[in-house]
Amino acid sequence: SMIEVERHAGVAVVTVNRPDAMNAVDVQHAEELRARLTELAADPDVRVVVLTGAGEKAFIAGADIKYMQNLGVHEGLRWAELGQGCAELLETMPKPTIAAINGYALGGGCELALACDIRLAATTAKLGQPEINLGIIPGWGGSQRLARTTTLGYAKELVFTGRMVDAAEALERGIVNAIHEPGELMSKTRELADLLAAKSPVALAAAKEATNLAFSGDHRDNLRTEAHLFSMAFATDDQTEGMAAFVEKREARFTGR
Ligand code: DAK
C-alpha cells in the first residue's frame, strides 16, 4: 500500500511508502494519506499519530514534481486543497501528532512535518523549502507555519533561498524538538508516543486546542478560551482520577471520559 498504518497500543504509525521516489507524494498518495488521517482522527482507540517515511533516505521529499509538471490551474487548486487538508488534519485532530523525520523533509514533506505537533529528526535528516528552485512557492502551509515555528526572518531566508538545512541546524533553530541517531529515531519516537498515549486523551485534546490558539486571533479571547477549556476538565473522570492518584501516591489510569 502507498500509505501504511501500523497500530500498537494506542499509537498509530503512518508511513508514506514510496522509497524509490524519496516518498514524494502524488495525488493518489495524498488522497490515501488524507483518508487514513481522517480515520485515525475519529478513532477513539488511537491516542497518538506518528508520521514517517519508508526507507532510510527520506521522510517525504515533497510533492511529486513529475506529477505537478503538467498541472493546470483547476487541478492545482484541488492539489492545494488536498495537501492543505492533510496538514490541517495533522494540526487539528484532537490527539497529538509526531513527525519522525528519518531523512529528507523537503517542500510539502517539510510542510507536513511542520503541521505535526512535535518533530523528532534523525541526525542525518535534511529539511527545507526548495520550491523557489522550481519556480513556485510553498503551498501546503510552509509560508505560515515555518515562521510560526521559528522566526519570520529565518523562514524568509529558507523560503527565498530554498537552502536545505541539516538536523543540527534545524534543532538549533527550533524547527525540530530533538535529534537522534538514525537507528534510534523510531524507538525514541515510540517512547514519546507511549508517554503521550498514557495521558488523559480528553485533557490532551483540550491542551492541543488551547495551544493551537497561541499564534492566532486575539490574545484576550484566547485566554478566555483557555479558562473555559480548563474548567471543562473538571467535568471529566480523568480529572477525578488524576488528582486522586496524586493524593494516593499511585499512577493514574486515565479512561478518556
Ligand atoms: N518528486 C518526484 N520525484 C522525486 C522527488 C520529488 N519531489 N524527489 C525525488 N524524486 C525521485 C527522483 O526523481 C529519483 O527518481 P528516478 O530518477 O530514480 O526515477 C528518485 O526520487 C531518487 O532521487 P535522486 O536520484 O534525486 O536522489 P538524490 O539522493 O540524488 O537526491 C533529493 C535526493 C531529495 C535531494 C533530490 O531527489 C531532490 O532534490 N528532490 C526534489 C526535492 C524537492 O524539490 N522537493 C520539493 C518539491 S515541491 C501545492 C502545494 C504544495 C506543493 C505543491 C503544490 N499547491 C498549493 C498546488 C509542494 C511542492 C513541493 O513539495
The atom number, within ligand 1, closest to the CA of 138 reads 51
pLDDT at 77: 87
Contact status, residue 110 vs residue 167, Cβ threshold 8 Å:
no
The pLDDT of residue 38 is above 90? yes
The pLDDT of residue 21 is above 90? yes
Marked catalytic residue, from 31, 56, 81, 111: 111
Query: How confident is the model over 15-24, as a mean pLDDT?
Result: 97
Q: What is the CA radius of gyration of the chain?
A: 19
Model confidence pLDDT, tens digit, residues 67-105 = 999 988 899 888 989 999 999 999 999 999 999 999 999
Q: Which three cell numbers stand for residue 54?
A: 519508508
**What distance in angstroms lies between residue 220's CA and the mean position of ligand 1's atoms?**
43
pLDDT at 76: 86
**What distance in angstroms lies between residue 24's CA and the mean position of ligand 1's atoms?**
6
Query: How confident is the model over 2-30, as a mean pLDDT?
Result: 96
Pocket of ligand 1, candidates 65, 77, 134, 137: which has the most ligand atoms within 8 Å of its Cβ, to mutate? 65
Query: How confident is the model over 26-38, as a mean pLDDT?
Result: 96
The pLDDT of residue 120 is above 90? yes
Contact status, residue 84 vs residue 91, Cβ threshold 8 Å:
no
Q: Is 88 a catalytic residue?
A: no
The pLDDT of residue 137 is above 90? yes
Sheet of strand 178-180, all strands in order from the earlier edge strand to the far edge: 3-8, 11-16, 48-53, 97-101, 118-122, 178-180
Q: Is 131 a catalytic residue?
A: yes
Q: What percent of the chain has pLDDT over 70?
A: 100
The 10 Å Cβ neighbour count of residue 224 is: 11
The pLDDT of residue 109 is above 90? yes
pLDDT band at 242 (very low <50, low <70, confident <90, very high): very high
Rounded Cα gap, residues 9 and 229, in angstroms: 27
Model confidence pLDDT, tens digit, residues 175-229 = 999 999 999 999 999 999 999 999 999 999 999 999 999 998 999 999 999 999 9
Rounded Cα gap, residues 196 and 40, in angstroms: 16
pLDDT at 96: 98
Model confidence pLDDT, tens digit, residues 156-179 = 999 999 999 999 999 999 999 999
Rounded Cα gap, residues 117 and 236, in angstroms: 24
Phi–psi pair at 139, nearest 5 degrees: -135, 5
State if pTM tops 0.85.
yes
The residue whose C-alpha atom lies closest to atom 31 belonging to ligand 1 is 22
End-to-end CA, the chain? 35
Which residues lie closer than 8 Å to 155 by C-beta, 6 or more apart? Answer: 143, 146, 147, 149
Rounded Cα gap, residues 233 and 218, in angstroms: 23
Q: Which three cell numbers stand for residue 13?
A: 504509525
Rounded Cα gap, residues 119 and 167, in angstroms: 11
User: Looking up cell 494516593, which residue turns up?
Assistant: 248
Model confidence pLDDT, tens digit, residues 51-62 = 999 999 999 999
